[in-house]
Chain A
């Protein structure tokens, strides 16, 4: 390991902040990856509680069922690194104000579930915070086909994208592929913060 490179990276990541919209399958796993990578400040937004049906893919535990996801995630991050600043917002994103919690962070991660809300959220960030990089995902369902996933960049929008995948309403959600795309999103956020690894 190149110690000099590693030290520089650590400082940069410690001073960086990432906001995550939705702390479900994508968001919970992305949050953990970013926490372990050493991002200094995480802003988490979700309205939901941990349900037993979430445990097949979301980064929560049996004894957290019934807790607010933002609180459970805050605790899981604290158990990895208590020095990370976590701002947890238990709220449902509403049209017109979806971008509010993400005004002062470096990178936004879209980790929402419903296609209509995903679309509205991306549109709101792009229109209201045009300088803000946003990482989003579409096509997390099913299993296999890892190599169909691509990063598609459109200006400040970075999409983790499988154009052949179908909606979660018609397909299964499974940990390996959900985690793959969640970590793909986290990896993109790191790349945006640090610049390309050359």
Chain B
């Protein structure tokens, strides 16, 4: 019952949304690109997509500058 967030093993929590997961693992950056098992999750769906057990999650935070 665990998931992997940016290579780090984290407990899986039933019915947890992406938004809740990001908060739990203290990813406080407001702007992130999230992939679950290689699928991109649009930001607008962060509060309704539930994180499945055993999933691999990649979070990349974007900061200004270019």
Residues in A lying within 8 Å of B, measured CB to CB? 22, 24-27, 111-116, 118-120, 122-123, 126-127, 136-141, 152, 154-155, 157, 159, 161, 163, 165-169, 171, 173
- Smallest beta-carbon distance A84→chain B, Å: 23
State the CA gap A154–B34 with chains docked (Å).
10
- Chain B residues bordering chain A, tally (CB within 8 A): 17
Residues in B lying within 8 Å of A, measured CB to CB? 30-33, 35, 38, 40, 42-43, 58, 60-66
State the CA gap A116–B66 with chains docked (Å).
12
Partner of B62, one of A25, A26, A119, A152: A119
Q: Are B65 and A157 interface neighbours, CB within 8 A?
A: no
> 9 A-B pairs, CB-CB below 8 angstroms?
A26-B66, A27-B66, A113-B64, A113-B66, A119-B62, A136-B62, A140-B65, A154-B33, A168-B64
Total number of residue pairs linking A and B with CB closer than 8 Å: 77
Contacts of A157 in B (CB 8 A): 33, 60
Counting from the closest, the 5 A-B pairs by CB-CB distance are: A168-B65, A113-B66, A140-B65, A126-B40, A115-B64
Q: Are A167 and B42 interface neighbours, CB within 8 A?
A: no
Q: Are A112 and B33 interface neighbours, CB within 8 A?
A: no
- Smallest beta-carbon distance A135→chain B, Å: 12
Q: Are A159 and B66 interface neighbours, CB within 8 A?
A: no
State the CA gap A114–B30 with chains docked (Å).
12
Contacts of A163 in B (CB 8 A): 61
Contacts of B42 in A (CB 8 A): 123, 127
State the CA gap A123–B35 with chains docked (Å).
10
